[in-house]
Amino acid sequence: MLTDLLNHPWLTGILLNTALLLPAAISPKKLLTPMGIAHAWVLGVTVWGTLGWAGYAVVMFYFLMGSGVTRIGMAEKEAAGIAEKRGGTRGPENVWGSAAAGTVCALGFWAVTKLGGDGGASIWASLFALGYVASFATKLSDTTASEVGKAYGKRTFLITTLKPVPRGTEGAVSLEGTVAGAGASLLIAMVGFAVGLNSSLGMVICLIAAFVATNAESVIGATVQDKFDWMTNELVNVINTVIGATVAIGLGLLLA
């Protein structure tokens, strides 16, 4: 009975995330705010409970890479006034802006897996797993493209007009950022493949989905984001990752 309890994925998730996030809470070098830590705990427990260690590996890789990328060229970005707030320390809005779409996919995977072993449930479990990986591939691509572009982009253009604009402008793209973003999405797709959440075809689908969604996010930033006070960066991030997951699931259905 005790062994079965300890092997329960949700209990494992609680114990593991408590053990990992307690040191983060007392560490002098913070990657998360106190509320960010609490929300990351909920996210981590949910991911482990639904997708196990494989899903957890993907989200942890995203978090570590995303936090590191945010600090690229920090001095230059701070001097230009285009650095992330709080020096890149993540709060709850950042946690769910990045992970809301992935969490829905993880819960979808868990739900259809619990329905039984028929072919339909199996197909949808694979599609939700693909959407999960694609959502984080999309977000890491967007973060990397933005941060590398702001730090090292030699020429930045507004995606809707291709007119030169200053680095850090909403909707701006650069060659350096675009290449870096594609590389970042490939890394997440490779992690997803390595842990068995997507196939080799799924890696290609994740790359396509991340590219489409990242550029769609730039279009949103260039056209409508500044027109509405309620359209925050975090909400745009949610939209961005939903597009990435949806494109991936759609392509997965089409090619199944």
Query: Alpha-carbon distance 126 to 108, whole Å?
Result: 10
**Whether the predicted pLDDT of 212 surpasses 90:** yes
CA-based nearest residue to 59, from 49, 48, 71:
48
The DSSP secondary structure of 207-251, one letter per residue, reads: HHHHHHHHHHHHHHHHHTGGG-TT--HHHHHHHHHHHHHHHHHHH
User: Which tens digits make up the pLDDT trace of 131-158?
Assistant: 999 999 999 999 999 888 888 878 888 8
Closest CA to 158 of 172, 140, 139, 143: 172
At 121, the pLDDT band (50, 70, 90 cuts) reads: low
Q: For the chain, give percent helix, strand, coil, nearest 5.
A: 80, 5, 20
Q: What is the mean pLDDT of residues 239-244?
A: 96
Domain of 66 in residue numbering reads as 2-255
pLDDT grade for 1, boundaries at 50, 70 and 90: very low
Q: Which helix (H) or strand (E) holds 173?
A: strand 172-174
Q: Classify residue 89 as exposed, middle or buried by CB count within 10 Å of its CB (0-12, 13-18, 19+).
A: middle
> Which pLDDT band, with edges at 50, 70 and 90, does 5 fall under?
very low
CA 199, 201, 204: angle at the middle one, nearest 5? Answer: 115
Mean pLDDT of 187-202: 96
Q: Of 69, 71, 63, nearest to 191 (Cα)?
A: 63
At residue 116, the pLDDT reads: 63
Do the beta carbons of residue 121 and residue 43 sit within 8 Å? no
Q: Please answer whether residues 138 and 240 qualify as being in contact, where contact means their C-beta atoms are separated by less than 8 angstroms.
A: yes
Task: Specify the DSSP class assigned to residue 87.
Answer: G
- For the record, the structure tokens of 160 come out as 């809707």
What kind and span of H or E run contains 143? helix 119-152
Q: Quote the CA–CA distance of 137 and 251 in Å, as a whole number.
A: 15
100: its two tokens: 């809301």
Using DSSP's 3-state secondary structure scheme, residue 90 falls into strand
Q: For the chain, what is the domain count?
A: 1
> Region 6-13: what's the mean pLDDT?
80
3-class state of residue 19 by DSSP: helix
Q: How far is Cα 47 from Cα 36, in angstroms, rounded to an integer? A: 16
The pTM assigned to this predicted structure is 0.88
